Copies of this chain bind each other. A is one copy, B any other.
Amino acid sequence: MTVNAKRRNVKKLIAFGTNLQRIRLEKGLSQEDLAHLANVAYTTINRLENGRLNTGVSTIFDLARALKVSPKELFEF
């Protein structure tokens, strides 16, 4: 992967994380609440929201289910 492609993806992961945090807060959930509902570690939520985790698609499905949104809403940013 080129340096540019990597840089682009870093920016997108940050935007993804910011969007995840926005949806979580709209739902009135803490990071701990979401971690529990999605059955993932608290650190997963924290690192995701800070754009520091390239999580798998399955976790996307778990997060969407926990937030009661469609998976595609996690990519509306």
Contacts and interface: CB of A to CB of B under 8 A. Distances in A.
Name the interface size band of chain A. Answer: 20 to 34
B57 A5 contact: no
Given A56-B57, A72-B76, A74-B75, 9 more contacts: A8-B61, A9-B58, A9-B62, A16-B57, A54-B56, A54-B58, A55-B57, A57-B57, A72-B73
A75 to B, nearest CB: 4
A12 B76 CA distance: 19
A1 B70 contact: no
Contacts of A39: 1-2, 5
A13 interface: yes
Interface in A9-41: 9, 12-13, 16, 39
